[in-house]
Amino acid sequence: MSSINEINEPDVFVVADNILSPLGKTTAENFAKLRENISGVKQHTDVAISPLPFFASLFDKGEEFVKADEHNYTKFEQLLIASIADALNGSGVDVRDKKTVLVISSTKGNINLLENEAINDELKERISLSTSAKLVAEHFGFQNQPIVVSNACISGVLGVITAARLLRSNQYESAVVAGADVISKFIMSGFESFKALSPGPCKPFDKEHDGLNLGEGAGTIILSTNHKYAQNIKVKGGSVSNDANHISGPSRTGQELAGAIKNALQEANFIADDIDFISAHGTATVYNDEMEANAIAISELQKVPLNSLKGFYGHTLGAAGLIESIISIRSLKQSLIIPTIGFTEAADPGKVNVGTAPIRLKANNFLKTASGFGGCNAAVIFGK
């Protein structure tokens, strides 16, 4: 239809990235820990978060991520700032350029502020994701109003897709996409109420999978259409869908996530065979893993090596899509696919090819998937 339009569409390159997690403050530190099979998930006893001991990947209590200053940034904002600062360092991207935009992804942002104080106008303003985005944008000197994505557990992937679309349609030249979430009693109690938490370290796609672990972290991916990055890995395609089935349970068939995968492949001008590995959502809840395995099998990707990184990071909510994409970008560069810790025997044999050991593989492209409450699904493809 719009062939002329498509010819003029620029490629979107990955300029730089950062992961800030309990495992490390840079992508390199994080990848090194994963290569050593070290997980951030531990048992914690903290009655401020949960009355009972729980397994999660959390930062040390009271840890500061940026130097104390007059702004009183919250932990959520500190994570974003520290992650963005490291990603920007040496990237060559000018945040003060009118052609650069900031995209923030988060599931619950500053929601922990609600735990200590009754709601009033001041708190309402302080808790708002728009306030955090503005503070972060001002910290770095971004000129444009930031874009904020809050779409449950696909927020991180949707942030990348939104940014790639803005760049492809020449609205901006560069985008800094950053996501973060902080685990507090609000979030923990909610997942507990759903009986969605595993009593131990999570076991994605394993036949004994019994729930997820929560995790804290931030991730940043800087994207640009500038040709000086033309040798870099690209965002090849991405798409989003809705199950139209249930607000708190995924599709029974996986058809809708498969639909998002199909559209992402189409945008990349790929067939299933072009995908060399998959970074799945893999929360380790029975419902999620089953749906995702179905979607992958429908997409004829059942033989493609797949991992879930939730055993290393827990479910980092709005940061998950970014952190897991960044690790996978590193896997492309180093030809090393990270295994799925917690997995031993497949719950859905024949539908997913889950790795238990690191795989040396010269890969060109990978698929990242995510799904969340509200029936949302997202798929994005990165490649050389």
Which residues of the shown chain bind other proteins in the complex (CB under 8 A)?
Answer: 1-2, 4-6, 107-108, 111, 114-115, 119, 124, 127-130, 133-134, 145, 147-152, 158, 162, 165-166, 168-169, 171, 185-186, 189-190, 192-194, 239-248, 256, 259, 263, 267, 372-376
Place of tokens 């409450």: 373
Host H or E run for residue 129: helix 129-140
- Burial of residue 302 (CB within 10 Å: 0-12, 13-18, 19+) is middle
- Closest CB to other proteins among residues 9, 345: 9
Q: How far is the CB of 39 from other proteins (least distance, A)?
A: 27
Distance in Å, CB of 378 to other proteins, minimum: 9
CB 22 within 8 A of CB 34: no
For residue 311, what is the DSSP state? H
- Considering the complex, state which of residue 115 and residue 138 has its C-beta at the smaller distance from other proteins: 115
158 or 309: CB nearest other proteins: 158
Q: How far apart are CA 218 and CA 169, in angstroms?
A: 27
Task: Rank residues 187 and 327 by Cβ distance to other proteins and give the closer one.
Answer: 187
> Read out DSSP for 15-62?
EEEEEEBTTBSSHHHHHHHHHTT----EEE--TTT-SS-EEEE-PPTT
Closest CB 29 distance from other proteins, rounded Å:
31
Residue 270 C-beta: closest distance to other proteins, Å: 16
| Residue 145 vs 364, nearer CB to other proteins | 145
Would you tell me how many other CB atoms lie within 10 Å of the CB of residue 53?
11
Nearer to other proteins, 11 or 29 (CB): 11
Residue (258 or 278) nearer to other proteins, CB:
258
Say if residues 52 and 192 touch (Cβ distance below 8 Å): no
Q: Answer for the pair 166, 158: CB distance below 8 angstroms, yes or no.
A: no
Question: Smallest gap, in angstroms, from Cβ of residue 80 to other proteins?
Answer: 14
In the bound complex, what is the minimum distance in angstroms from residue 114's beta carbon to other proteins? 5
Rg for the chain, CA atoms, rounded: 19
User: Smallest gap, in angstroms, from Cβ of residue 151 to other proteins?
Assistant: 4
Q: If residue 293 lies in a helix (H) or strand (E), which one and from where to where? A: helix 286-298
